[in-house]
Structure 1
Amino acid sequence: MENVFTYLKNQFVFQLDNLFQTENPMEKPVLNQVDSNGFINEFIIENNLTEIDTLLLVLALVPHMKPDFLSSVIAEYLPNGGELPEFGGIKTKNHRGILPTGETAQFLIAGNDLDKRISFYDYLHNQSFLYQKRIIKVEAVPNGEPKLSGLLILEDEYIEKFITGKILKPQLSSIFPAQLIETQLDWDDLVLNSSTLNQIKEIETWLKFNDILLHEWNMKSKIKPGFRVMFYGAPGTGKTLTASLLGKYTQRDVYRIDLSMVISKYIGETEKNLSSLFDKATDKDWILFFDEADAVFGKRTNVRDAHDKYANQEVSYLLQRIENHPGLVILASNFKANIDTAFTRRFQSIIEFEVPSYGERLKLWQNNLPKGIKIAEDVNLSELSKKYDITGANIVNIIQYACLRTLEDQNKSINLNHLLQGIKKEYAKEGKMM
């Protein structure tokens, strides 16, 4: 990594020598052959970064590795202190050195040459791989201030990647209202009817081949980006597990949106929260899973007051963001009728998760009972499957209850009484009688 930092410093020296018209100015530096050692070098090679993007990447990273880097560079030319607006940079509350801004990047690439500075602005916004992929960004500034005076920011995930070699996955917070969900289960553990499974396989096919369809088959201009799906059905029928398995088998992270952190009573805050989420997810190949989506994507109402007006604006805004999102978005609801028809018209797929039939319930019982543990002779799984109309989630809860009671009683086998007690508890939770 040291060679790219040396290259960065020499590029600054080259521009500052020209600005201060020093004797024997440094010639324009050339980056030596980048080797594959080091995480940042690997990234430069893998993505075939241009010279400008390489400088931008190293500039955004350097404060996290060498906090005094920019301060020491400028001190050689202003030993007694002073301002150098062309250089850009800002000081913050916590960091004692200088942090780079878009202006710092502009000076690094173009110096004081006006034509080159204009060209850099165009390059950054229209050609930069890093900027287009949102790996770097220039922080927004108040109206009236120069656009490039904002802080040059490297995404948190990539800071971690270049330092440790691992991409840091975002954590649930007010800034990122979503949580990574994973599963240890396999497709064989998902018990659904054949029609539902076939529709789910269509989503898996899109995840595998969408890039080829858009880019190699040149369909990008004809097909809208992204894939929008609705899952609906009773709780516990496999909607969340399906989303998790789609991510697991296509090597994509699945984030369940915490709607309690998204929805706000303050006008404009819900849109702001979701905008931040979608901006973060763009170009990440994530699957966004909105569980109990009725809360945000429900039907628009007749406008009776200002509250109705802004609630409808929220739905319209979400419709636009989802339609333009390039990844997979799954909305899950207990009832299809609860979702605004403006959304359903734009779904590529609407999939019903039915309460399991007798055969499916039998398979769920067989799949979820612990292997190697005896089942008492009075337990007839076929009879339980016929008699009790319950979901997969109910069955898992019942088995957990029965297993714990078996361990507590120090029994060697799971007996019928414990299973029936578990069924009774599940029925009671849902207000049903056995």
Structure 2
Amino acid sequence: MSETIDSAVLEQRAAELVDQARRAGADAADAVVVRGRSRSVSVRLGKVEATEASESDDFSLRVFVGRRVASVSANPGFDLKVLAERAVAMAKASPEDPYASLADPDRLAKSYPDLELFDSRDVSTEALTETALAAEGAALSVAGVTNSSGAGASAGMGGLVLVTSHGFSGSYMATRFGCSVSAIAGEGTKMERDYDFDSRLYFDELRTAEDIGRVAGERAAARVNPRRVATQKNVTVVFDPRVARGFAGHLAGAINGASVARKTSFLRDMMGKQIMKSGIAVTDDPLIVRGASSRPFDGEGVSGSKLSMVEDGVLRHWFLSTSAARELGLETNGRGVRGGPAVSPASTNLALEPGSISRDDLIRGVGTGFYVTELIGQGVNMVTGEYSRGASGFWIENGEILYPVSEVTIASNLKQMFMALTPADDIDRKFGIAAPTLAVEGMTIAGT
């Protein structure tokens, strides 16, 4: 996005806010500015339906008075002194929190690399419109596609400015571009819908609009005239990478240090134990150049590094911020994320690493099974690991994808699913959570 990025002004204002907090009686404080700019275009059937634009600089101040902590937020133009005094007064009236504090000074980033997160290219509203129209046109040109649910293209910028009372001051900005299209195939009560999308930090690295539209149209057309399948147990379910990323996200939630500390994770007692087959690895790396979720430092100013979260099937790490780490008797690993004034741990560039088998060979090896392309509902219990979700996709027989299937439910337990999964080699690392095609044995399908 074409905009002069001058974070110095925001850093200076954040530093003044921290200074006012100390003057008001805070023992320690940090201030963060979350910057956002976005522009998007939506089209349907060759016409522009909407264009939207937004921008914001949201300030948050967190103060510590002894073991008491409070946070306040404000928009630009606020009175620094008034906001700081209010935050300190709130902290003095708050209950003690034995785990909340700034990160240890020796963990703060002293320097950090250029991760090439910002695309300075000027992508106009007209260019976004052309991209969305081209994607929809490609979808509508696919045989069997009868209508469009619309297409869109977007350009955005986001970033973080962080200043702490113990000497950290830094900022980074990242751009994000996207294109999506939803196509409809079939007629009347037999219509089926599907979609495709792409999202990248650099506009020129997006898949072409024509490719996105074509794939969306082909997916929709392939789903026409779906069948039902009988209820059965011990079925191998194959997750398309599009849904496999969500499956990997369940692992990210289960190894989140805050959930472990609250005892709301079904993996809370599994550190150092086997949770996947030998040979399977899960990594998390905040320092990937042009990575979707890369960052030079976390929401507390801590440097992060690449971690093998699961190594040879064994769980090795939790995602930890300072407070979550202290509650568990550990040290932060630079995974703190700012959600407004609050800090909580989260993954960065998480990858369920690929195996050595191709997608086609993986499917051939299944014999009979269910290839899932879409999941419905939120039937995942992160406390117990129970998993039950509506699904649609394609039936596999004799190692070949034969016909579309809908209106079924797949069920198991995530602990069992993690131990029974086999990854293919087709990973796309351009997403913040990346996973290849996954085959999971031993699931139950509820159908007719």
Q: TM-score, normalised by structure 2?
A: 0.18
Structure number with larger C-alpha Rg: 1
Structure with the larger helix share: 1
Larger RCO (alpha carbons 8 Å, 6+ apart)? 2
Considering fraction of residues, name the structure with more strand.
2
